[in-house]
Amino acid sequence: MKVILVGILLILVVGCAGPGVEVRAPTAEPTVRPEAPVVSPPTVVQPPINLAEAAQYIERGQLEEAIALYKKALESNPKDAGLHYNLGNAYFQKGLLQEAIAQYKGALEINPGDKDSHVNLGAAYDEIGQLEEAVIEHKKALEIDPKDPEAHYNLGVTYEKKGLKAEAEQEFRIYEELSARPSP
């Protein structure tokens, strides 16, 4: 039945076309019009950022250059906790403590288990006098790694600033046992 209907339809279409009109069977390929080319949008290729160069800048005390490289790297990798951490360290060394705190927090949003970000965030809080926040961050670092000598030392320093002499001495003892280096 379908074949008969298709045949009748074809006869009607061909018959109605009239003389001199060419009827073409449909093709599977679409017709391409040369007047409407398809062009892909241009892509901008950025050269890779050399993070070793940023570390060298820090070693040479060229903090502005290191900060610029880390910020540029974060533009293309905003979820890289290590970049936030390193940028925080550069800010810390430059004395830009609020900026350092923001970067350490950014690193911890991405990787809450980053002990070093907790240690450095605590140190930054300590530097600006937010001692309660410093204690919290040092303790978080010690929850992650109870044998981290730096976290014990920094917690001792913060306790000392808070006037908690016994707690400070305890942390300094632990630091000495773990690092085999004398405390100040």
**Domain count within the chain:** 1
In a domain? residue 19: no
Residue 144 maps to a domain: yes
> Is 137 inside a domain boundary?
yes
Q: How confident is the model over 128-183, as pLDDT tens digits?
A: 999 999 999 999 999 999 999 999 999 999 999 999 999 999 999 999 999 885 55
Tokens of 37: 């080319």
Residue type, 86: N
Structural domain range at position 61: 51-179
Residue type, 27: T
Distance CA 171, CA 177 (A): 10
**CATH number where 133 lies:** 1.25.40.10
**Cα 119 from Cα 146, distance rounded (Å):** 12
pLDDT band at 8 (very low <50, low <70, confident <90, very high): very low
Per-residue tokens: 106: 């950014």
Q: Identify whether 23 is part of a domain.
A: no
Q: Is 155 within a domain?
A: yes
174 part of a folded domain:
yes
